[in-house]
A and B are shown apart, each in its own frame.
Chain A
Amino acid sequence: MIRKSPKLAGVDAAAVIKEALQRIDVPSRRKFLQSSLTLGGLSLLTGCSLVEAGGIEKALMKISRFNDAAQAWLFDPSRLAPTYPESMITRPFPFNAYYGADKIRQVDADSYRLEVTGLVADKHAWTLDELRALPQTDQVTRHICVEGWSAIGKWGGVTFSSFLARIGADTSAKYVGFKCADDYYTSIDMPTALHPQTQLTLSYDGATLPPKYGFPMKLRMPTKLGYKNPKHIQAIFVTNTYPGGFWEDQGYNWFGGI
């Protein structure tokens, strides 16, 4: 999955961590994390002792799974997130990712193909033009970040449930997973995938989705926290096997609902 150049190391804390987590074995990872304690930018991830999972961490992870279940139970598939007038859109809308703005991925529009795999009838890969030819809708909704801040934005694209219907997805499956061009990955529950405001987003504020917000395509869910909304999506798969996620595997709650 790693496609970053080595010169990234030492520049971008989150990118370093990500590489490290994938490359090095567990004991040296622990050492790595301990030494990272001193580096301000990396202190964010010192809680990655979660990866080692002692007693308390294990108990907290269990409660987090319980919280997944509580949220799935609370989630009302027909309850809509509030929408706002365009005058309330936050400008500029904040950029946020596990890397800095200087590392935003540039995806080539012409060679882009959206892969669709797993429990779906039609597995053909989609070009951007094909996606743009599908019926589009807009939403002005509040994006809430796990960090606590929120911002209102306007996203346009294809209602995800209609896309799932088009590709003949098995909607009795448990999960929909996403793999992204920036090596991010995440997954969501099927009820949220089918929520009317869950959108395969191709535009932001009336213009083509810019790279900083996930060109060529992201998934927008006003019913989930920001880290559940993957950008630069390259592959979508429907599955019954828990796929996890980039932040979720490090300890963020999987359901991440709001």
Chain B
Amino acid sequence: MTDSMPTIHPAWLRLTHWLNVIAVVILVMSGWRIYNAAPFFDFKFASEITLGGWLGGAIQWHFAAMWLLAANGLIYLLLNAGTGRLWTKFFPLSPRAIVTDLRTALRGRLSHDDPQQYNSVQRLAYLFVMVDSVLLVLSGLVLWKSVQFPLLRELLGDYETARRVHFFAMAALVGFVAVHLAMVALLPRTLLTMIRGR
């Protein structure tokens, strides 16, 4: 890790990544409180792990952080696509490579020798969470303004199906984060890179 090492994560990427972390934490925790107001499954989230204090407070947090998630996410996706980084970092991606990398990973021997490159499992996971986040925003738009976005509403079924879609997309995101954090814990060096860029 000398100064001559090339930048692995450009500044805009690190900035958007950490802003996204803030937005996601606020949205998930306040979202759980909103879910608790009218749960459609047989469980509620413990209020200690929710944000907002009451429904009105949770909604204020949620409808504030949604702007951060959407704007920051859009900037990330546009810069990622615009700089061509999206194609070089996350593709090619073949099912075979995913299976091979997954096998190696499960044997605890996934090589991370080239920090410039994501392995296939990472590529898949990151692409997945990008798509999942887009789905969260779109289903969230239907929940927020189901009358004003008729096309989106019809695509997702109706208001009630959009609620389920939003919930499961949240669950998938939380699942991603759990695995993501486990991987970072196993390879703390990547955390340094995500902070310093090198």
Is A93 part of the binding interface, using a Cβ–Cβ cutoff of 8 Å?
no
By a CB distance below 8 angstroms, the chain A residues around B153 are: 82
B54 contacts A74, C-beta separation under 8 Å: no
Chain B window 135-151, contacts with chain A (Cβ cutoff 8 Å), 1 for yes, 0 for no: 00000000111111010
A61 contacts B60, C-beta separation under 8 Å: yes
Is A148 part of the binding interface, using a Cβ–Cβ cutoff of 8 Å?
yes
Is A165 part of the binding interface, using a Cβ–Cβ cutoff of 8 Å?
no
B37 contacts A148, C-beta separation under 8 Å: yes
A residues 57-109 in Cβ contact with B at 8 Å: 59-61, 63-64, 67, 71, 74-76, 79-82
Is B106 part of the binding interface, using a Cβ–Cβ cutoff of 8 Å?
no
B35 contacts A47, C-beta separation under 8 Å: no
B54 contacts A253, C-beta separation under 8 Å: no
Q: Smallest Cβ distance from A21 to chain B, in angstroms? A: 14
B57 contacts A147, C-beta separation under 8 Å: no
Could you tell me the distance between the alpha carbons of A253 and B60 in the complex, rounded to whole angstroms? 8
B54 contacts A48, C-beta separation under 8 Å: yes
Could you tell me the distance between the alpha carbons of A256 and B163 in the complex, rounded to whole angstroms? 18
Is A252 part of the binding interface, using a Cβ–Cβ cutoff of 8 Å?
yes
Is A128 part of the binding interface, using a Cβ–Cβ cutoff of 8 Å?
no
Is A145 part of the binding interface, using a Cβ–Cβ cutoff of 8 Å?
yes
Q: Choose among B57, B58, B147, B160 the residue that contacts A258 (Cβ–Cβ < 8 A).
A: B147
Could you tell me the distance between the alpha carbons of A45 and B160 in the complex, rounded to whole angstroms? 26
Q: Choose among B60, B143, B163 the residue that contacts A64 (Cβ–Cβ < 8 A).
A: B60
By a CB distance below 8 angstroms, the chain A residues around B58 are: 47
A148 contacts B163, C-beta separation under 8 Å: yes
Could you tell me the distance between the alpha carbons of A200 and B35 in the complex, rounded to whole angstroms? 31
Q: Smallest Cβ distance from B27 to chain A, in angstroms? A: 14
Decide: A67 near B63, CB < 8 A? Known: A44-B55, A250-B56, A257-B145: yes
By a CB distance below 8 angstroms, the chain B residues around A146 are: 37, 55, 59
By a CB distance below 8 angstroms, the chain A residues around B53 are: 46-47, 49
B54 contacts A45, C-beta separation under 8 Å: yes
A79 contacts B148, C-beta separation under 8 Å: yes
Q: Smallest Cβ distance from A109 to chain B, in angstroms? A: 33
Q: Smallest Cβ distance from A36 to chain B, in angstroms? A: 11
Other 5 A-B pairs with CB < 8 A, given A47-B53, A49-B53, A146-B37: A43-B47, A50-B57, A142-B146, A142-B159, A147-B34
CB-defined A-B contacts under 8 Å, sample of 17: A43-B47, A44-B55, A46-B54, A50-B60, A60-B60, A61-B60, A63-B60, A79-B150, A82-B147, A82-B150, A82-B158, A142-B146, A144-B159, A147-B34, A148-B143, A253-B60, A253-B63
* Contacts from A to B (Cβ < 8 Å): 43-50, 59-61, 63-64, 67, 71, 74-76, 79-82, 142, 144-150, 222-223, 247, 250-253, 257-258
